[in-house]
């Protein structure tokens, strides 16, 4: 989720796009760059690190004033955060420069084909490959927009592209396929950006580009067309939001914005990892024979990432019969764990900087245990130090309470379990059917988000509750831990989380009128048992909120409040979907309680101290 900016008009274009990048800084990035025209050439200036580094470069190599520029702040996906990998990128003959958000899934095959034709690449990015594809079309003598249109037909994946050329000097061409791009309309000047906040100082008249469209920006105006080249009408909206609200995409808090991003995050997690035939591939993973040597998995993580690890354990053990333990990093590092030399240590972390997880990783490395990271932030310490790392591709997460990172971590753990099953040809595991369900999951996640207003109403049931239980069985019990953590963090609500079957072994003593119990009941095979547990709570006067599916609807009659999510053929995936209404409940309870949702008291986003 990188930042994109572009300007054409009478002002000093480089200053404008640099200012736009500053306004996108809150999204997080690890390198930045600008392309502009200098005489007959395109000048590209880019630097790894923060915008101050790019600013220093601009001072070292001043650019004469000009009226067209594009700029990018990169959050690395393909290739580390280096000067070479930073955007913009040139095509083979430096006729065009491009910036790009998203992932080009077929970049490797395109790169191989172009390399075969003599193209030389200077970075590891998929973006540079897209630049070369556009450049190759442009060499046919067509206008820039036609070259971009033709290139887009060859690119697979989710992306937003912005291109300038050294010959068509007053023109910016951009294209959108799944990654957001917003156009800004000014007086004899026009702009574009990946997010509305970057446009607001210059114009409040904006249009969000539709899927699969292309736009041509000049000083005089903006034309939008579809991928067949047919003009598309533009719907301009006037933005009233202040800049802060705009940073949150119009949402009141980053937490709710990030909850709503989850369907897209699910798609991004799979991007480039699942081919059309349903085969799973990872860019950087151990060779196939290694998976046959591994006799045990230890997942090591903190907080939400630990809870995601518990979900992974279900799959590793159920599907692969691979013994799996999940450790809190802080316990692992001081617990003198027994580690089989054939084990695999999996480190799950959003930030990749959590001090306890990093220390546990170094301990495993000292003991020569194989390590695998599942990390969101590219270039982070855990990502760099693990033998192999799979990135969750969730984009920057700003709210302290993790939501979309959890979903992405569970998605990646699921893909990993299926990948191992694919490599080992594990009998009875139909990886392609699983993959089909994973591909369809984002649409079901959209349906879960439709429960938002119901969750808002149900949140009133928590008013005055002294305690909330989060309960479930199987994978629902693991989601209950995460749901309880969200409720504690953002709503400051005391919670008790437990497998539902454990209630009568002690926690049931806490149930009395006013206490709310949230049950996850999404596994049809366990629904009867859950109903019995619900009745135990109901008999003691507790209030029951349940998340079920069409196949577990029997729980509805026992519940005071019922939320129904769509179901999949796999109870495990139903449980993952149930996390969404649980997050929404925590959010709305927190709002009713007037809590500081994005920055809860006493907590930090990245815990880099013990």
| Binding range to ligand M6R, per CB under 6 A, among 196-204, 286-294, 394-402, 532-540 | 394-402
The least distance separating ligand M6R from the CB of residue 588, rounded to whole angstroms, comes to 17
**C-alpha closest to that of 322 among 340, 336, 338:** 340
Q: Residues 155-174: x/- map of binding to ligand M6R (CB under 6 A)?
A: --------------------
- Pick from 351, 414, 495, 552 the residue near ligand M6R by CB under 6 A: 351
Q: Which residue is nearest to ligand M6R (CB)?
A: 303
- Pick from 354, 392, 552, 574 the residue near ligand M6R by CB under 6 A: 354
135 binds ligand M6R (CB under 6 A): no
- Pick from 3, 6, 303, 566 the residue near ligand M6R by CB under 6 A: 303
- Pick from 181, 400, 458, 547 the residue near ligand M6R by CB under 6 A: 400
Q: Where would I find the H helices in 400-467?
A: 404-424, 431-449, 452-458
Helix H or strand E segment including 71: strand 68-74
The least distance separating ligand M6R from the CB of residue 255, rounded to whole angstroms, comes to 9
What's the count of helices (H) and strands (E) in the chain, helices before strands? 19, 24
- Pick from 85, 304, 478, 552 the residue near ligand M6R by CB under 6 A: 304
The least distance separating ligand M6R from the CB of residue 490, rounded to whole angstroms, comes to 8
Q: What is the largest CA-CA distance in the chain?
A: 81
Instruction: Identify the active-site residue in 169, 318, 529, 605.
Output: 605
Q: Which is nearer to ligand M6R, 304 or 414 (CB)?
A: 304
Are 193 and 184 a contacting pair, CB within 8 Å?
A: yes
User: How far apart, in Å, are the Cα atoms of 104 and each of 30, 113, 482?
Assistant: 19, 15, 33
The least distance separating ligand M6R from the CB of residue 572, rounded to whole angstroms, comes to 21
Q: Which two tokens stand for residue 257?
A: 């914005």
| Binding range to ligand M6R, per CB under 6 A, among 231-239, 320-328, 397-405, 421-429 | 397-405
Q: Binding residues for ligand M6R, how many (CB under 6 A)?
A: 17
357 binds ligand M6R (CB under 6 A): yes
Query: What burial class does residue 201 get, using C-beta atoms within 10 Å of its C-beta: 0-12 exposed, 13-18 middle, 19+ buried?
Result: middle
| Cα distance between residue 183 and residue 174, in whole Å | 10
**Collapsing DSSP states into helix, strand and coil, what is residue 162?**
strand
346 binds ligand M6R (CB under 6 A): no
410 binds ligand M6R (CB under 6 A): no
| Binding range to ligand M6R, per CB under 6 A, among 77-85, 193-201, 260-268, 351-359 | 351-359
**C-alpha closest to that of 583 among 471, 444, 449:** 449
How much of the chain is helix, strand and coil, in % rounded to 5?
A: 40, 25, 35
- Pick from 45, 174, 302, 451 the residue near ligand M6R by CB under 6 A: 302
| Cα distance between residue 169 and residue 282, in whole Å | 40
The least distance separating ligand M6R from the CB of residue 106, rounded to whole angstroms, comes to 31
607 binds ligand M6R (CB under 6 A): yes
Residues within window 455-514 making contact with ligand M6R, judged by CB under 6 A: 485, 489
| Binding range to ligand M6R, per CB under 6 A, among 96-104, 300-308, 534-542, 551-559 | 300-308
Q: Where would I find the H helices in 321-354?
A: 329-334
Instruction: Identify the active-site residue in 2, 152, 174, 302.
Output: 2
Q: Which is nearer to ligand M6R, 351 or 549 (CB)?
A: 351
Q: Which is nearer to ligand M6R, 401 or 493 (CB)?
A: 401
Cross-strand partners of 33: 46, 72
| Cα distance between residue 267 and residue 444, in whole Å | 12
374 binds ligand M6R (CB under 6 A): no
Q: Which is nearer to ligand M6R, 86 or 590 (CB)?
A: 590
Are 215 and 209 a contacting pair, CB within 8 Å?
A: yes
DSSP 354-391: -HHHHHHHHHHHHTT-EEEEEESSTT-HHHHHSSEEEE
Q: Which is nearer to ligand M6R, 151 or 360 (CB)?
A: 360
**Collapsing DSSP states into helix, strand and coil, what is residue 305?**
helix
Are 370 and 343 a contacting pair, CB within 8 Å?
A: yes
Q: Which is nearer to ligand M6R, 429 or 485 (CB)?
A: 485
Q: Which is nearer to ligand M6R, 5 or 348 (CB)?
A: 348
The least distance separating ligand M6R from the CB of residue 486, rounded to whole angstroms, comes to 7
DSSP 231-286: B-----EE----HHHHHTTT-S-HHHHHHHTHHHHHHHHHTTTB-TTS-B--SS--
**Collapsing DSSP states into helix, strand and coil, what is residue 473?**
coil
The least distance separating ligand M6R from the CB of residue 386, rounded to whole angstroms, comes to 13
Among this protein's residues, is 455 annotated catalytic?
A: no
Among this protein's residues, is 605 annotated catalytic?
A: yes
Helix axes 404-424, 262-270, angle to 10 degrees: 30
The least distance separating ligand M6R from the CB of residue 304, rounded to whole angstroms, comes to 3
Q: Which is nearer to ligand M6R, 8 or 300 (CB)?
A: 300
The least distance separating ligand M6R from the CB of residue 174, rounded to whole angstroms, comes to 33
Determine how many CB atoms are found less than 10 A away from the CB of residue 460.
12
305 binds ligand M6R (CB under 6 A): yes
Helix H or strand E segment including 70: strand 68-74
85 binds ligand M6R (CB under 6 A): no
Task: Please provide the distance, in angstroms rounded to a whole number, between the alpha carbons at the two ends of the chain.
Answer: 30
Positions touching ligand M6R (CB under 6 A) are: 302-305, 349-351, 354, 357, 400-402, 485, 489, 603, 606-607
Task: Give catalytic residues, as residue numbers.
Answer: 2, 605
């Amino acid at each position: 989720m990188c930042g994109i900016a572009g300007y054409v008009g009478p002002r000093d274009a480089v200053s404008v796009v640099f200012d736009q990048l500053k306004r996108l800084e809150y999204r997080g990035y690890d390198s930045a760059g600008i392309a502009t025209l200098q005489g007959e050439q395109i000048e590209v200036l880019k630097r790894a690190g923060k915008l101050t580094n790019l600013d220093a470069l601009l001072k070292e190599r001043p650019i004469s004033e000009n009226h067209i520029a594009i700029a990018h702040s990169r959050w690395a996906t393909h290739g580390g955060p280096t000067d070479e990998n930073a955007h913009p990128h040139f095509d083979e003959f430096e006729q065009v420069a491009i910036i790009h958000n998203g992932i080009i899934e077929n970049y490797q095959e395109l790169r191989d084909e172009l390399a075969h034709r003599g193209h030389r690449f200077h970075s590891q990015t998929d973006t540079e490959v897209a630049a070369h594809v556009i450049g190759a079309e442009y060499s046919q003598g067509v206008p820039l927009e036609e070259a971009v249109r033709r290139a887009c037909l060859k690119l697979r994946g989710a992306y937003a592209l912005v291109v300038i050329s050294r010959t068509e000097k007053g023109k910016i061409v951009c294209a959108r396929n799944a990654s957001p791009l917003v156009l800004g309309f000014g007086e004899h000047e026009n702009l574009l950006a990946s997010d509305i906040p970057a446009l607001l100082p210059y114009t409040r008249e904006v249009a969000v580009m539709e899927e699969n469209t292309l736009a041509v920006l000049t000083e005089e105006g903006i034309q939008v067309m579809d991928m067949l080249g047919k003009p598309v009408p533009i719907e301009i909206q006037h933005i009233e939001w202040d800049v802060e609200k705009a940073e949150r995409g119009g949402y009141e808090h980053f937490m709710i914005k990030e909850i709503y991003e989850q369907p897209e995050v699910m798609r991004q997690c799979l991007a480039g990892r699942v081919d059309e035939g349903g085969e799973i591939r990872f860019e950087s993973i151990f060779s196939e024979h290694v998976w046959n040597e591994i006799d045990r998995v230890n997942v090591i993580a903190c907080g939400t990432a630990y809870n995601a690890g518990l979900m992974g354990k279900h799959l590793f053990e159920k599907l692969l019969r691979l013994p799996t333990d999940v450790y809190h990093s802080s316990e692992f590092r001081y617990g003198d764990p027994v580690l089989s030399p054939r084990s695999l240590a999996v480190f799950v972390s959003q930030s990749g900087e959590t001090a306890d997880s990093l220390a546990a990783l170094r301990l495993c490395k000292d003991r020569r245990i194989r390590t695998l990271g599942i990390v969101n932030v590219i270039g982070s310490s855990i990502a760099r130090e693990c033998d192999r790392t799979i990135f969750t591709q969730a984009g920057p997460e700003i709210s302290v309470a993790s939501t979309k990172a959890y979903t992405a971590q569970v998605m990646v753990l699921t893909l990993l379990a299926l990948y191992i099953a694919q490599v080992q040809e594990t009998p009875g595991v139909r990886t392609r059917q699983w993959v089909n369900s994973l591909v369809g999951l984002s649409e079901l996640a959209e349906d879960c988000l439709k429960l938002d207003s119901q969750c808002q109403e149900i949140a009133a049931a928590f008013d005055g509750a002294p305690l909330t239980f989060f309960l479930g069985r199987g994978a629902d019990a693991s989601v209950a831990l995460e749901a309880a953590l969200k409720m504690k963090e953002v709503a400051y609500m005391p919670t008790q989380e437990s497998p539902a079957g454990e209630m009568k072994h002690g926690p049931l003593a806490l149930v009395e009128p006013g206490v709310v119990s949230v049950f996850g009941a999404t596994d049809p095979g366990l629904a009867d048992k859950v109903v019995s547990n619900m009745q135990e709570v109901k008999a003691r006067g507790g209030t029951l909120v349940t998340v079920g599916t069409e196949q577990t609807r029997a729980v509805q009659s026992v519940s005071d409040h019922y939320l129904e999510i769509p179901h999949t053929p796999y109870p495990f995936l139903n449980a993952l979907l149930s996390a969404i209404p649980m997050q929404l409940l925590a959010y709305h309870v927190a709002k009713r309680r007037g809590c500081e949702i994005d920055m809860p008291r006493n907590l930090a986003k990245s815990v880099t101290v013990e």
